[in-house]
């Protein structure tokens, strides 16, 4: 299959609130007040968990069809812990991002336990967001068209 | 600083539409019709790009304050390519997730080019979502309370 390109673009409304557009959709990201934000949207690391859960859900339904069992619904909980020290410029040996992400999947399915174990294994091996989290993903960040004044 | 925990939970509405709650926020994730969805929300890998851009924005403002220059706004574009073959169960040697993520950052800033280059370097080193993408992130997925029938 040919590669697909996905994209978003957006601008900040205040230092923490960022409004991203993706096709016809608008995604508003902010930080809670305790992290210096205006709390008008879920924050970036909550968006990351939502992306992950949404991807596991899609894969769950695709793989259930392949394995031929009925999957009525999936409920997913996802959580992670991170030390915000690096974000705020404090000394730490902790990484800035999630140290670990934990997910609970509650499938309502007409399937044996062994089938569900296989189901989950296949989901993990084929889920795009899972792949981008558990394996290194190359990123290229370019500074563009900056309004620059001489120092 | 103490670790912070972030979490989301949600359920699917149809095989591709997933509604996640994070604190008081509701995030609706879906797939476009061309990928088998009902197109009622951005898709998981678009959410991932939004998470990344939102995180870079927050870090951009924090680091600009630290470096002492005025940052009026940031515009961000993010895109990535992935091969959906693995998602749909086709043979491929491609990874399922983004092969690379490209970001353009357009800061409207009262700063010299060398300052902005340093600014970007610091952002990259401290952004949680950047860390979770470029470095491996451990995940633990547990099957819970599944409704199981004997095969």
Q: How far apart are CA A141 and CA A133, in angstroms?
A: 18
| Separation between Cα atoms, residue B104 and residue B75, nearest integer Å | 8
Helix, strand and coil content of chain A, in percent to the nearest 5, comes to 30, 35, 35
Chain A contact probe: residue of B34, B35, B57, B61 with most A CBs at under 10 A: B57
Helices (H), chain B: 44-67, 113-126, 128-134
What is the reported pLDDT for B147? 61
Q: In chain A, what residues touch B140 (CB-CB under 8 Å)? A: 100-103
Is residue A13 pLDDT above 60, yes or no? yes
Q: Does domain A43-133 have CATH number 3.30.300.20?
A: yes
User: pLDDT digit string (tens) for A45-63?
Assistant: 999 999 999 999 999 999 9
Quick check: B139 and A133 in contact, CB under 8 A?
Answer: yes
Q: Residue A129 — φ and ψ, nearest 5°?
A: -70, -35
Q: Among residues B148, B139, B10, which one has the least CA distance to residue A74?
A: B10
Nearest Cα residue in chain B from A81: B5
Cα–Cα distance between A57 and A63 in angstroms, integer? 10
State how far the Cα of A127 lies from the Cα of B109, in Å rounded to an integer: 38
Q: Is the ipTM of this complex over 0.90?
A: yes
Higher pLDDT, A149 or B89: B89
Residue B129 DSSP SS3? helix
The mean pLDDT of chain A is: 95
Low-confidence ranges of chain B (pLDDT < 70): 146-151
Residue B21 touches chain A, beta carbons under 8 Å: no
What pairs with residue A70 in β-bridges?
A110
Instruction: State the pLDDT at residue B145.
Output: 72
**What mean pLDDT comes out for the span A32-37?**
97
Domain range list for chain A = 8-41, 43-133
Looking at the partner chain, which of B7, B133, B143 has a beta carbon nearest the beta carbon of A105? B143
CB pairs under 8 A between A and B: 440
Partner-chain contact A20 B50, CB within 8 Å: yes
The rounded distance, in Å, linking the Cα atoms of B110 and A147 is 7
Least Cα distance to A25 among B54, B39, B123, B67 occurs for: B39
The whole-angstrom separation of Cα B51 and Cα B127 is: 11
User: Which residues lie closer than 8 Å to B23 by C-beta, 6 or more apart?
Assistant: A32, A42, A46
Distance CA A47, CA A52 (A): 9
For domain B43-134, is the CATH number 3.40.190.10? Answer: no
Per residue in A60-107, pLDDT (tens digit) is: 999 999 999 999 999 999 999 999 999 999 999 999 999 999 999 999
Max Cα-Cα span within chain A: 67
**Are B53 and B78 within 8 A, CB to CB?**
yes
Cβ within 8 Å of residue A132, ≥6 positions away? B48, B97, B98, B133
Q: Helices A44-67 and B44-67 sit at what angle, rounded to 10 degrees?
A: 160
Q: For residue A129, which of B56, B19, B96 has the smallest C-alpha distance? A: B96
Specify the length of chain A in residues: 151
Phi, psi of A50 (to 5 degrees): -65, -40
Report the pLDDT value the prediction gives residue B2, as an integer from 0 to 100. Answer: 94
Does A19 lie at the interface with B, CB-CB under 8 angstroms? Answer: no
pLDDT at A28 over 80: yes
CA gap B134, A10 in Å, rounded: 22
Q: Using CB atoms, which residue from B47, B75, B133 is nearest to A47?
A: B47
What does the pLDDT read at residue A151?
Answer: 46
Please give the model's pTM, rounded to 2 decimal places.
Answer: 0.96
Question: Could B131 and A97 be called an inter-chain contact, meaning their C-beta atoms sit closer than 8 Å?
Answer: yes
């Amino acid at each position: 299959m040919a590669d697909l390109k996905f994209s978003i673009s957006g601008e900040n409304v205040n230092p923490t609130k960022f409004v991203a557009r993706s096709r016809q959709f608008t995604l508003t990201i902010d930080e809670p007040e305790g992290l210096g934000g205006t709390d008008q949207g879920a924050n970036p690391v909550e968006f990351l968990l939502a992306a992950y859960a949404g991807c596991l859900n899609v894969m769950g339904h695709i793989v259930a069809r392949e394995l031929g069992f009925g999957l009525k619904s999936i409920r997913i909980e996802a959580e992670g812990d991170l030390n915000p020290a690096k974000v705020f410029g404090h000394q730490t040996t902790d990484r800035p991002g999630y140290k670990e992400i934990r997910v609970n999947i509650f499938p309502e399915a007409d399937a044996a336990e062994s089938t569900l174990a296989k189901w989950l294994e296949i989901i993990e091996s084929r889920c795009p967001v899972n792949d981008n989290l558990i394996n290194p993903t190359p990123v290229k960040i370019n500074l563009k068209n900056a309004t620059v004044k001489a120092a």
